[in-house]
Amino acid sequence: MVHKGIDCGGVEGMKIGVYSGNGTANESLKKIMDLLKENFDHVVDFKDEIPETDVLIIPGGRASEISNSLGKGNLQMLKSLVKDGARYIGICAGAYLAIGGYWEDTTLTGEIVLVETNHPDIWNWKRGKGFVRIRLHDHPIASGMREVRMWYENGPIFSKGKYDVIGEFLDDVNECGSSISMRKSPAIITAKYGFGDVVLFSPHPELSEEQAQKLLFNAIIFQGGKVCSSMRKI
């Protein structure tokens, strides 16, 4: 199936797949499913086989377990679907999964690098958790918003790379004593991969205030420099 991108006219029939297998965090998965089922008619969860959907979402959890659970074949299929026009949205662990340098010697995360960036201090990935302020840039996914509070829980720091920044951290969480600060570093990024779009969240939109949850919906439905406007609840 070749998507060649998402069309605003097809939002009502949009198919969304959410990974629900080993490695996902229950709270993240449940909140994502609850939010999406209130707003979209075609939402499925998957564990062992990648569905042919318009949007693929990998929730928070542990990227190493997710990659090993999906296996090389499924990861390559996921990558091919995005290249053909599906959209990949990675939240925390889902973001780690789509960048380079995350324990590639012992996991399968290197099979699905969708954005040319990595975590500059991967040995100090366990930074802690808490609410942080995010300054939003002028981008359709931000949709007129300027600043939001979002839940952060050991999400990646993105090194310089080939991507657009949607939002940046205004606060730092650094319980591990890393020499690298989160402040002014990208918190939400997007890039093209083939015909598809990739949107990566270091913090958790689904576990944040309602305004921040809109970022997740906008990430699903934006296309061609605008946000499609057929949401029911948000």
In a domain, 3, yes or no: no
How far apart are alpha carbons 90 and 115 in whole angstroms? 11
In a domain, 234, yes or no: no
Percent of residues, the chain, with pLDDT higher than 90 = 75
In a domain, 1, yes or no: no
Q: Which tens digit of pLDDT belongs to each residue from 139-149?
A: 999 988 999 99
In a domain, 67, yes or no: yes
Give the total number of structural domains in the chain: 1
* Element at 196 (helix H, strand E): strand 196-201
Q: What is the pLDDT of residue 14?
A: 87
In a domain, 25, yes or no: yes
Global pTM reads 0.91
pLDDT(6) > 60: no
Containing domain of residue 53, as a range?
8-227
Strand-pair category, 186-193 with 196-201: antiparallel
More confident residue, 10 or 25: 25
CATH code of residue 170: 3.40.50.880
In a domain, 65, yes or no: yes
137, amino acid identity: H
- Of the candidate ranges 9-23, 38-52, 117-131, 190-204, the one whose mean pLDDT is the lowest: 9-23
Please, which pLDDT band fits residue 112 given cuts at 50, 70 and 90? confident
In a domain, 30, yes or no: yes
Q: Which tens digit of pLDDT belongs to each residue from 80-97?
A: 999 999 999 999 999 999
In a domain, 27, yes or no: yes
Helical segments of 25-92, H only: 26-37, 63-83
Strand-pair category, 87-91 with 55-58: parallel
